[in-house]
Amino acid sequence: MMLFHSVSYLILIFIAAHAKPTFKEAPLSSRVIYQSPDSLFIENIAVRASSELLLTSVASPTLFALDPTTVNGTLQLVHTFPNANSLSGITEYHPNVFAIAASVIDPTSGWIPGSVVIWSIDFNPPAPVARILAAVPGANSTNGLTALPSEPDTLLLADSFAGIWQIDARTGSARLALQDPTMLPGGPGTLGINGIHVRDEHLYFTNLQQATYARVPLCVEHGNLTAGGSTEVFSTLGAKQGPDDFTFDRQGRAWMAVHPGALALFSQSSDQKGNWTQQTAVGNANGTDVGMIQPTSVAFGRGSSVQGNTLYVTTDVGQVLAVDIIE
């Protein structure tokens, strides 16, 4: 009996130590954890180790925080950036230090050339400290922002009209590093490259207007980032689908916000070659599901196992949605 107990105890320990997360089968459902009273267009999300959500809006120069563990919480104002009326990409490039893309958008003509600035906000001091990392005067738009995992002071900014800017957070220098037809919009007045993330020395990106999900190998030559090979477009989404920002899970699958109304899940074949298959996790391709309206960005919760099993989705109708994805 004792032996039996010890053996099952050991088996339990073994299972716990080697357990792979079990993802729920799609379709999944979402719940609203926050609804902005004035339908604030929420553009992007980053999650602090404390579990607090950081939210940017293309319609506000203020960085907001939301506690996802409270029911019907309210947005806290973290910092309002000067000389800006819009924020887009946000990424944690050092522990508890975030980089944020700010700019000025004219309601009729769009981005004001020369207005793009990358800021840093450091949550390590008792009160967050903001400072300018770089001006990017050549950028004509801002969208996703990420850092090289191997060199976190190298920031990459998606310019939806041009490609990828490389920004040195230490020196403030900025150069247009990657330009490729797969990053450009297919016509005037629309947006090309949007969500960006680096994984396995590749830049993965979506193109909103071309409705593609693609990657390009990265190479750093004397500090200058270049394409280490040709771009692979491995998914073309359906007509009228607008892929926005995305995040990778622990299995390397990509959870993607797709306009007008889907949270899509992309999985690659086990040999890591070939195209990724697409499933709709929440919502549908025509935007008729009230549980997923105009999603813009996706991030996993942090700070506890419950949070880590929750995917947060922002929308441009002012919502933060939660999707429980692990059993």
Ligand X SMILES: *[C@@H]1O[C@H](CO)[C@@H](O)[C@H](O)[C@H]1NC(C)=O
Judge whether 44 and 56 are in contact, CB under 8 Å.
yes
Nearer to ligand X, 122 or 180 (CB): 180
To ligand X, the closest distance from the beta carbon of 243 in angstroms equals 12
Nearer to ligand X, 159 or 316 (CB): 159
Helix (H, G, I), strand (E, B) or coil at 13: helix
Give the bridge partners for 16, in sequence order.
none
To ligand X, the closest distance from the beta carbon of 113 in angstroms equals 6
Judge whether 152 and 144 are in contact, CB under 8 Å.
no
To ligand X, the closest distance from the beta carbon of 176 in angstroms equals 5
Given the rule CB under 6 A, which residues bind ligand X? 71-72, 113, 138, 140, 161-162, 175-176, 222, 224, 233-236, 274-275, 284-286, 288
Nearer to ligand X, 26 or 49 (CB): 26
Nearer to ligand X, 8 or 269 (CB): 269
Instruction: For residues 87 and 43, give the distance between their C-alpha atoms in angstroms, rounded to a whole number.
Output: 8
Instruction: For residues 299 and 70, give the distance between their C-alpha atoms in angstroms, rounded to a whole number.
Output: 18
Give the Å distances, CA to CA, from 212 to 142, 153, 162, 174, 206.
19, 28, 16, 26, 6
Closest of 183, 195, 212 to residue 101, by C-alpha: 195
To ligand X, the closest distance from the beta carbon of 20 in angstroms equals 28
Nearer to ligand X, 96 or 279 (CB): 279
Q: What type of residue sits at position 226?
A: T
To ligand X, the closest distance from the beta carbon of 114 in angstroms equals 9
